[in-house]
Amino acid sequence: MASPRQARLWLGRAGFAALAMGLIFLRLLPLDTLPPRWAGPDLLLVAVLLWVVRRPGFLPVWMVAAVVLLADFLFQRPPGLMAALTVIATEMLRRRHMRLRAGGFAAEWAATSLAVAGVLAATQMALLITVVPAPPLGLVASQAVTTALAYPLAAIAARWLFRIGHRPTDSRRRISV
């Protein structure tokens, strides 16, 4: 591997780490301490899925685990559960990212929406099975819907801000992580 490519890779990873910290930071701001009626999108999950489909090289699996585990700790979620499920979902998407890129945006959106629904539903199931008090179902469902709806917007934003768009698959090689 040439060293400029290596440098770009690490730059991309650092960029994602900064973005993830920014998203966590935004969610921690004590702006609204009232209990919500509906849950907004989980932007961190959106970002992880977007990057894994479009730039899997910038987001190695250990980084997914680290970022989501940190979020688990900071957001008072059961530690490790969401991280494990997100790793599973991203691994499934990562294996298909070539085909997803060839399939156009609709296929990508469908796949990521399924991943979001899968992660949230599996979290809820795991909490029920282990008899942990689970969040109300309505809130989780609204979060799944808003997260899925936020994906195209996040894709547009990522395209403008980070130049993360669709690219023809043959122009770059797969980077194994």
Partner 1 sequence: MARPRHSGEDYARPIRRLLVGLLLLALLALFALWRIDSPRVERMRAEVVDRVLPSFDWALAPVTGLATMAGNFQSYAHLHEQNQQLRRELQQMRAWREAALQLEQENAKLLDLNNVRLDPRLTYITGVVMADSGSPFRQSVLVNVGARDGVLDGWPAMDGIGLVGRISGVGHASSRVLLLTDTSSRIPVTIQPSGQRAILAGDNTIYPPIDFLENPDLVRPGDRVVSSGDGGMFPADLLVGQVTMGSDGRLRIRLAADYERLEFLRVLRSHQAETVDETGRLIVPEPREVFGPPAPAPASIGLAEPEPDQAAEAPDG
Sites of contact with partner 1 (CB under 8 A): 24-25, 27-36, 39-40, 61-62, 65, 69-71, 73-81, 83-84, 87-88, 91, 98-99, 102, 126, 130, 132-133, 135-136, 139-140, 143, 169-170, 173-174, 176-177
- Output the six-digit token pair for 81: 């559960």
For partner 1, the closer of residues 80 and 165 by Cβ is: 80
CB of 40 to partner 1, least distance (A): 7
Q: 44, 56, 71, 66: which is closest to 108 by C-alpha?
A: 56
Tell me how far, at minimum, the Cβ of 99 lies from partner 1, in Å.
6
Q: Which of 13, 100, 105 is nearest to 63 (CA)?
A: 13
**Cβ nearer to partner 1, comparing 81 with 155:** 81
| Shortest distance in whole angstroms from residue 132 CB to partner 1 | 7
CB of 123 to partner 1, least distance (A): 10
Tokens for 144? 């799944």
Amino acid at 86: T
Closer to partner 1 by CB, 110 or 132: give it: 132
Q: Are 141 and 40 in contact (CB under 8 A)?
A: no
The residue among 2 and 34 lying less far from partner 1, judged by its C-beta, is: 34
Q: What angle do CA 105, 23, 110 make, to 5 degrees?
A: 20
User: Which of 68, 71, 66, 67 lies closest to 27, judged by CA?
Assistant: 71
Tell me whether residue 24 or residue 157 sits nearer to partner 1 (CB atom): 24
Shortest reach from residue 7's CB to partner 1, in Å = 21
Neighbours of 18 (CB within 10 A): 10
Give the C-alpha separation, 48 to 130, whole Å.
Answer: 26
